[in-house]
Amino acid sequence: MEPGRHAIKYPFSWLVVSLAALQVILFSYMNFNYIDRHHPFLLFIGTIVVLILYGCLLSGSIYLGLQPSGELVFQDHSLIVNGVDLQAKEIAEIRIQGYFREEYGIRLHDKRIVPVKLCFRFVQPDDPAVQQLKQWGAVNQIPLVRKPFTRWI
Protein backbone atom coordinates (compact mmCIF):
# COMPACT_ATOMS: atom_id res chain seq x y z
CA MET A 1 0.00 0.00 0.00
CA GLU A 2 1.00 3.62 -0.35
CA PRO A 3 2.76 5.28 2.62
CA GLY A 4 -0.42 7.13 3.71
CA ARG A 5 -2.75 4.13 3.24
CA HIS A 6 -2.90 1.10 5.52
CA ALA A 7 -5.10 -2.01 5.65
CA ILE A 8 -7.34 -2.31 8.71
CA LYS A 9 -10.00 -4.75 9.96
CA TYR A 10 -12.76 -4.70 12.55
CA PRO A 11 -11.42 -6.10 15.86
CA PHE A 12 -13.46 -9.32 16.08
CA SER A 13 -13.05 -11.50 19.17
CA TRP A 14 -14.38 -15.01 19.70
CA LEU A 15 -13.80 -14.50 23.42
CA VAL A 16 -16.38 -11.70 23.57
CA VAL A 17 -18.92 -13.78 21.63
CA SER A 18 -18.41 -16.84 23.84
CA LEU A 19 -18.64 -14.78 27.05
CA ALA A 20 -21.89 -13.27 25.79
CA ALA A 21 -23.19 -16.77 25.08
CA LEU A 22 -22.25 -17.91 28.59
CA GLN A 23 -23.99 -14.90 30.07
CA VAL A 24 -27.17 -15.59 28.09
CA ILE A 25 -27.15 -19.25 29.14
CA LEU A 26 -26.66 -18.45 32.83
CA PHE A 27 -29.27 -15.69 32.76
CA SER A 28 -31.73 -17.98 31.03
CA TYR A 29 -31.14 -20.79 33.51
CA MET A 30 -31.60 -18.55 36.54
CA ASN A 31 -34.78 -16.87 35.26
CA PHE A 32 -36.40 -19.89 33.63
CA ASN A 33 -35.78 -22.16 36.61
CA TYR A 34 -38.53 -20.32 38.48
CA ILE A 35 -40.84 -19.91 35.50
CA ASP A 36 -40.60 -23.61 34.56
CA ARG A 37 -42.55 -24.71 37.61
CA HIS A 38 -45.24 -22.08 37.51
CA HIS A 39 -45.71 -21.00 33.88
CA PRO A 40 -44.41 -23.50 31.28
CA PHE A 41 -45.73 -21.43 28.36
CA LEU A 42 -43.64 -18.44 29.48
CA LEU A 43 -40.62 -20.74 29.52
CA PHE A 44 -41.19 -21.60 25.87
CA ILE A 45 -41.71 -17.97 24.79
CA GLY A 46 -38.75 -16.75 26.87
CA THR A 47 -36.47 -19.38 25.40
CA ILE A 48 -37.45 -18.40 21.86
CA VAL A 49 -36.88 -14.68 22.60
CA VAL A 50 -33.46 -15.30 24.15
CA LEU A 51 -32.40 -17.52 21.25
CA ILE A 52 -33.48 -14.89 18.72
CA LEU A 53 -31.60 -12.13 20.57
CA TYR A 54 -28.46 -14.23 20.88
CA GLY A 55 -28.72 -15.24 17.22
CA CYS A 56 -28.84 -11.57 16.22
CA LEU A 57 -25.83 -10.77 18.40
CA LEU A 58 -23.86 -13.72 17.07
CA SER A 59 -24.70 -13.13 13.42
CA GLY A 60 -23.97 -9.39 13.72
CA SER A 61 -20.56 -9.90 15.27
CA ILE A 62 -19.63 -12.64 12.79
CA TYR A 63 -20.76 -10.37 9.94
CA LEU A 64 -18.51 -7.57 11.21
CA GLY A 65 -15.61 -9.95 11.77
CA LEU A 66 -15.77 -11.38 8.25
CA GLN A 67 -15.85 -8.02 6.50
CA PRO A 68 -13.03 -7.52 3.99
CA SER A 69 -10.11 -5.31 4.94
CA GLY A 70 -10.80 -1.61 5.04
CA GLU A 71 -8.44 1.27 4.70
CA LEU A 72 -6.97 3.94 6.95
CA VAL A 73 -5.79 6.99 5.03
CA PHE A 74 -3.68 9.73 6.62
CA GLN A 75 -4.09 13.28 5.32
CA ASP A 76 -2.75 16.57 6.69
CA HIS A 77 -5.62 17.43 9.04
CA SER A 78 -7.96 14.47 8.60
CA LEU A 79 -8.19 10.70 8.74
CA ILE A 80 -10.29 8.51 6.50
CA VAL A 81 -11.36 5.32 8.30
CA ASN A 82 -13.29 2.87 6.12
CA GLY A 83 -14.59 5.73 4.00
CA VAL A 84 -15.55 7.97 6.96
CA ASP A 85 -13.73 11.32 6.70
CA LEU A 86 -12.81 12.69 10.12
CA GLN A 87 -11.34 16.13 10.60
CA ALA A 88 -8.75 16.43 13.36
CA LYS A 89 -10.92 18.93 15.25
CA GLU A 90 -13.73 16.32 15.50
CA ILE A 91 -11.52 13.76 17.27
CA ALA A 92 -11.24 13.89 21.06
CA GLU A 93 -8.70 11.07 21.41
CA ILE A 94 -7.49 7.85 19.89
CA ARG A 95 -7.70 4.97 22.35
CA ILE A 96 -5.59 1.84 22.27
CA GLN A 97 -6.57 -1.34 24.08
CA GLY A 98 -4.92 -4.72 24.19
CA TYR A 99 -1.29 -5.66 24.15
CA PHE A 100 -0.50 -8.50 21.75
CA ARG A 101 -3.31 -7.63 19.35
CA GLU A 102 -3.89 -3.93 19.74
CA GLU A 103 -7.26 -2.44 18.89
CA TYR A 104 -7.74 1.22 18.12
CA GLY A 105 -10.83 3.33 18.66
CA ILE A 106 -11.38 6.92 17.64
CA ARG A 107 -13.52 8.74 20.17
CA LEU A 108 -15.24 11.86 18.92
CA HIS A 109 -15.98 14.97 20.98
CA ASP A 110 -19.19 14.73 23.03
CA LYS A 111 -19.29 10.92 22.69
CA ARG A 112 -18.68 8.48 25.54
CA ILE A 113 -18.34 5.36 23.42
CA VAL A 114 -16.38 4.67 20.27
CA PRO A 115 -18.61 4.15 17.21
CA VAL A 116 -18.32 0.70 15.61
CA LYS A 117 -17.19 2.22 12.30
CA LEU A 118 -14.26 3.86 14.08
CA CYS A 119 -12.90 0.69 15.74
CA PHE A 120 -10.10 -1.09 13.94
CA ARG A 121 -6.92 -3.10 14.16
CA PHE A 122 -4.11 -3.17 11.67
CA VAL A 123 -3.98 -6.25 9.43
CA GLN A 124 -0.21 -6.41 9.83
CA PRO A 125 0.60 -6.09 13.56
CA ASP A 126 4.11 -4.74 12.91
CA ASP A 127 2.74 -2.21 10.46
CA PRO A 128 4.60 1.12 10.30
CA ALA A 129 1.12 2.67 10.42
CA VAL A 130 1.29 2.59 14.22
CA GLN A 131 4.20 5.02 14.17
CA GLN A 132 2.51 7.10 11.50
CA LEU A 133 -0.68 7.24 13.61
CA LYS A 134 1.35 8.45 16.60
CA GLN A 135 3.07 11.09 14.49
CA TRP A 136 -0.24 12.21 12.96
CA GLY A 137 -1.75 12.51 16.45
CA ALA A 138 1.20 14.54 17.72
CA VAL A 139 1.08 16.92 14.74
CA ASN A 140 -2.70 17.42 15.12
CA GLN A 141 -2.56 17.56 18.94
CA ILE A 142 -4.72 14.47 19.41
CA PRO A 143 -3.71 12.29 22.34
CA LEU A 144 -3.18 8.56 21.86
CA VAL A 145 -4.07 6.97 25.19
CA ARG A 146 -3.80 3.35 26.24
CA LYS A 147 -7.26 3.02 27.75
CA PRO A 148 -10.06 0.48 27.28
CA PHE A 149 -13.03 1.67 25.29
CA THR A 150 -16.64 0.60 24.94
CA ARG A 151 -18.09 -0.29 21.58
CA TRP A 152 -21.21 -2.09 20.46
CA ILE A 153 -20.90 -5.79 19.58
17-76, pLDDT tens digit by residue?
A: 777 778 777 776 766 666 556 667 777 777 788 778 878 877 887 787 777 888 899 988
Q: Where are the domains of the chain?
A: 5-10+70-146, 14-65
Which residues neighbour 98 within 8 Å (Cβ) at sequence distance 6 or greater? none
2 has pLDDT over 60 = no
Whether the CB-CB separation of 92 and 143 falls below 8 Å is answered with no
pTM of the model: 0.72
CATH of 5-10+70-146, one of 3.30.200.20, 2.60.40.3080, 2.30.29.30, 2.60.120.10: 2.30.29.30
Sign of CA dihedral 113, 11, 68, 52: negative
For residue range 139-151, what is the model confidence (pLDDT) as tens digits?
Answer: 999 999 999 887 6
When pLDDT is cut at 50, 70 and 90, the band that residue 110 belongs to is confident
